[in-house]
Amino acid sequence: MKKVGFIGLGNMGLPMANNILNAGIGVNAFDLSRDAMKKADELGMVTKSSALDVVENIDALITMLPNDTAVESIYLKEDLLEKISKNTIIIESSTINPEVSKKVSKKATEMNISILDAPVSGGVKGAELGTLTFIVGGNEADLEKATPLFKIMGDKTFYAGKAGSGQIAKLCNNMLLAIHMCGTAETIAMGVNNGLDPAILSEIMKSSSGGNWSLEKYNPFPGVMKEAPASNNYSGGFLNSLMLKDLNLAEELATQSKSNTPMGKLARELYKELNNQGFEELDFSSIQQNYLDK
C-alpha cells in the first residue's frame, strides 16, 4: 500500500492519519477546518482542496467524520464513489447511525467498491499511540485488504458482522462507557465528600469489584491521573457533544429494537444537561463537575 486518502482530521482523525504517514505510507488529506489542514500540512501530508481530490491515486480511503450528515454528504451527495477506483478499500470509521452506514455500504457495494464500517474505541490517546480497537462490519473477505492499516492505527480488530454491525457494537460500547463514567464520577465524589483521598479511593476501587475503564485509564477527578483530560481542565479528548450524539443514536437503536435501557436513558439525560450548561467542548469526563461542590 503506497497512498491512503484521509477525510476528517479532528482530535481522532489527525493522529490516525499521522500514524499512517509515519509508517511510510503517503497521505492525501482533507478537512473543512483550516487549522486542521495546516497541521496536516506541517506533518507532511498532501493536503487537498476538496474531498473529491483526496481519492486520486489512492489504495485506501479512511473517513473519520463527526456525524450522519457529514458521512451522507461525502458518500451519498457528492460524486466520490463515482470517482474512486474500484480497487480502493474504504474504511468508514465515524460513529454514526447504523442505518446510514448500511445505506452507504449498499451504494458502494452496488458499484463494486469494497467498504467496511469500522468505528473505533480507545480515545484520543489511543489514536495518538496507535492502540485503537477497530469494530468492523461489512464483508469479512474485505478485512484482509484493510488489516495492514488497522495494525498501523490500532492493536485490536474485531469483526462484528454484516454492514452496520460495527456501528451497532460501537453504540453499545459507548452507552456502557457513558454509564460507567457517570457512576465512577458520582462514586468518587461521594468518597471525597466523606473525607477520602480521591487517588486512594480510585486505587482501592480499581483493584476491587468496582474496577472499570474510567478508573483505570481515564479518571474523571482532577489531579488523580495527570495524563487524563480531567487534569488538564477537561480539554481535548472525547467531547461532551459527541458523547451526547452517540447516546442519542443508542436511544434510537434501543427504540427500534424495543430494548429496555433505563441506565442508558439516564446517562443521556445527564449528558444532555451537561451540554445545556455550555460544556459541549469539554471532555466527557467533565461529568465529574456535576457532583462536586460549586
| Domains located in the chain, CATH noted | 3-162 (3.40.50.720), 168-291 (1.10.1040.10)
Q: What is the pLDDT of residue 294?
A: 53
Q: What is the pLDDT of residue 123?
A: 86
pLDDT cut 90: percent of the chain above it: 95
Q: Which of 185, 145, 154 is nearest to 58 (CA)?
A: 145
Q: What is the pLDDT of residue 292?
A: 84
**Does residue 237 surpass a pLDDT of 90?**
no
Q: What is the pLDDT of residue 252?
A: 96
**Does residue 293 surpass a pLDDT of 80?**
no
- At 243-291, the pLDDT tens digits run 999 999 999 999 999 999 999 999 999 999 999 999 999 999 999 999 9
Q: Is 206 a catalytic residue?
A: no
b/e map 241-263, b = 16+ CB within 10 Å:
bbbbbbbebbbebbeeeeeebee
C-alpha distances (whole Å) from 100 to each of 28, 76, 107, 165, 249 are 25, 10, 11, 12, 11
- At 68-113, the pLDDT tens digits run 999 999 999 989 999 999 999 999 999 999 999 999 999 999 999 9
Asked if 108 and 82 touch (Cβ cutoff 8 Å), the reply is no
**Does residue 223 surpass a pLDDT of 80?**
yes
> pTM of the full predicted structure?
0.91
Dist. CA 232–CA 225, nearest whole Å:
10
Residue 156's beta-bridge partner residues? 133
Q: Which of 180, 131, 193, 194 is nearest to 285 (CA)?
A: 180
Mean pLDDT taken over the chain: 96
**CA R_g for the chain:** 20
Catalytic residue among 48, 103, 145, 170: 170
C-alpha distances (whole Å) from 197 to each of 110, 208, 223, 228, 294 are 59, 17, 11, 18, 19
